[in-house]
Amino acid sequence: MSCIFCDIREKKVPAEIVYEDEDIMAFRDADPRAPVHILIIPKKHILSLSEIDEEDRELIGRICRVAARIARQESIARSGFRLVVNSGPDAGQAVDHLHFHLLGGRSMSWPPG
């Protein structure tokens, strides 16, 4: 089954990559909802947050650390940022490859719509 984020991981589809290591990749969202809007993905194809299991514990922890590192890189660590995961239809998940939205650079309301 085709997956747009697997294609980005494979560099078959272009993206502005801001971070990459053996297991994790981060690139700018094609339709940014904030001045900084970056998607952080595990390279491994995990369908959604509800599909993670015990063996992914370290990977998810590392993704959070990568998010904090990118926030510093993008100069939004002090002003603040959000790390958002949409999981499933009610949350509006559109791409079935686990991804974390890193959003910042403007003030945000709560709760999200």
99 catalytic, yes or no?
yes
Residue closer to ligand AMP, measured from CB, 13 or 68: 13
In terms of CB distance, is 76 or 101 closer to ligand AMP? 101
Q: Is residue 58 helix, strand or coil?
A: helix
Q: Could you tell me the end-to-end alpha-carbon distance of the chain, in angstroms, rounded to an integer?
A: 31
In whole angstroms, the minimum distance from the beta carbon of 12 to ligand AMP comes to 11
List residues binding ligand AMP (CB under 6 A): 4, 13, 15, 29-31, 39, 86, 92-95
Tokens of residue 101, six digits:
């939205």
Instruction: Give 22 or 94: the residue with its C-beta nearer to ligand AMP.
Output: 94
Within 10 A of 40 (CB to CB), how many other CB atoms are there?
A: 23
> In the chain, how long is the greatest CA-to-CA distance?
40
Measured between alpha carbons, how far is 98 from 111 in angstroms, rounded to an integer?
A: 22
Q: What is the DSSP string of 30-44?
A: SS-SSSEEEEEEESS
Candidates 37, 45, 99, 101; catalytic one: 99
CB of 41 to ligand AMP, least distance (A): 10
Report, in Å, the least distance between residue 103 CB and ligand AMP.
Answer: 10
Which residues form the catalytic set?
A: 99
